[in-house]
Amino acid sequence: MNEPGIEGGELTRMAVLALIGQRGPTSRAVMGRELDLSSATVSQVTKWLIERGVLEPLDFEPSIGGRPAQLLGLVATAGHAVGVKVAADHLTIVDVRLDGQVVNARNEAFDVMAPDAVVCLARSLRSFIDTSESPLLGIGVGVPGIVTRPDVGTVDAAVLNWVDMPIGRQLRKELDTPILVENDVKALAIAERLYGRGRTRRNFVVITIGRGVGFASVADGVLRRGASGGAGEIAHAVLNGTGPVCACGSRGCLEAYIGAEGLVTAGRVAGVLRGREGLDHLVEAADKGNGEASAVFSRAAQRLARAVATTIAALDPEVILVAGEGTASWRHWDGPFRSTLARHLPVSMRELPVEVDSWEDTSWARGAAAIVLATPFDRNALAGRQRSHVLARLHGSRDGIDDELG
């Protein structure tokens, strides 16, 4: 699919898309300047992308003297991606446009322990795809676990009871669609970079609280994945080897203390929760001014701050973004988190902003879709051969899906 001549080829098209993805609508002159391309090349590449419905001419940019420059923007409907968040007992599936807007969403029961769980997952995705809009660029799968390579998609996830589970390979075989699989918190960081508060920042970290605890970082514009996809796994760093048992099998992990289950246990020990009362009751009690309930959140927030402080000092981000279903009770975390973090950071970082995202039920699944939607704009994404399949679909052609492993 590459045209003769490297300048007008796929790499140049990707660079143009990446620039527009990052800046929003952009004039041809700015593309030439920023990407160091001749005006002939810019015209050739943009003409090609306009003809295929990926870019569209927009308003004219006011200019001082000379001709006003026309801005080119992405066509939001030029591509869709399906994202699925896999949890042990349910799936959330969404259809997302190129501009990040969720146009369709579905929640379904799912039993990860069923012997044919992956076949069930494929069946749910197939029936959802039938209702989703085209062109479908691919499917992103977000999992609460470790994925060594998104384009291969082999998953280790203790909470799903998956060890070396070849999800990517099996779904490609069942669905004949580009499939990218990623840790759900990393996927969320990609969505932040593409559509959210990370859009204008090259260095930021994402912390998620909720059922589990998550951490991901974007450094100099690139999502850090680490040697084996495990970068950011602070949830299972052990704080106390004789502490409570964690879902991962270890004792005393950060998540065992401050994940939803850990908070409920602390609420029981503090005498705030009785019988089957859960996290909702704990939040309600704290809202009503129950000091013991507030202290549970306060201790959790302090633990979280101490656990991330050294890592944050090592990364020097512009902002900390807090997300996850647990942000519904962030008001009880906020003060103790900020003050503890400030005490543990170097003086130069003590004013580091902490911003909390508005959270939706579909946010995890939208993150999963963003893995696919970021592919045309992100040269650093580990998308392997899935990238060419996604790009082929964006440019209006389809090819057979080959598996990354052969």
Closest distance to Zn ion from the beta carbon of 218 (Å): 24
Stretch that binds Zn ion, among 123-131, 164-172, 232-240, 289-297 (CB under 5 A): 232-240
Rule CB under 5 A: is residue 250 a binding residue for Zn ion? yes
Q: Smaller CB distance to Zn ion: residue 212 or 267?
A: 212
The binder of Zn ion chosen from 98, 189, 248, 300 (CB under 5 A): 248
Size of the site for Zn ion (CB under 5 A): 5
Q: Please give the angle made by the CA atoms of 264, 345 and 199, to the nearest 5 degrees.
A: 80
Q: Is the dihedral angle over the CA atoms 221, 226, 227, 229 positive or is it negative? A: negative
Amino acid in position 94: V
Closest distance to Zn ion from the beta carbon of 247 (Å): 6
Q: Smaller CB distance to Zn ion: residue 8 or 259?
A: 259
The binder of Zn ion chosen from 193, 236, 303, 395 (CB under 5 A): 236
Amino acid in position 261: E
Q: Smaller CB distance to Zn ion: residue 49 or 253?
A: 253
Stretch that binds Zn ion, among 56-64, 120-128, 246-254, 288-296 (CB under 5 A): 246-254
Q: Smaller CB distance to Zn ion: residue 166 or 259?
A: 259
**What is the token pair recorded at 66?**
């000379």
- State the Cα torsion 264-266-269-274 to the nearest 10°: -20
Q: Smaller CB distance to Zn ion: residue 246 or 370?
A: 246
Rounded-to-integer distance, Cα 297 and Cα 283, Å: 9
Rule CB under 5 A: is residue 388 a binding residue for Zn ion? no
Rg of the chain in Å (alpha carbons): 23
Rule CB under 5 A: is residue 260 a binding residue for Zn ion? no
The binder of Zn ion chosen from 253, 263, 300, 371 (CB under 5 A): 253
Strands 136-143 and 80-86: parallel
DSSP string spanning 240-302? Answer: -TTSPBPTTS-BSBHHHHHSHHHHHHHHHHTTS--TT--HHHHHHHHHTT-HHHHHHHHHHHH
Q: What is the maximum span of the chain, computed from C-alpha positions, in angstroms?
A: 75
The binder of Zn ion chosen from 147, 246, 263, 285 (CB under 5 A): 246
Rule CB under 5 A: is residue 234 a binding residue for Zn ion? no
Residues that bind Zn ion in the complex, under the rule CB under 5 A: 236, 246, 248, 250, 253
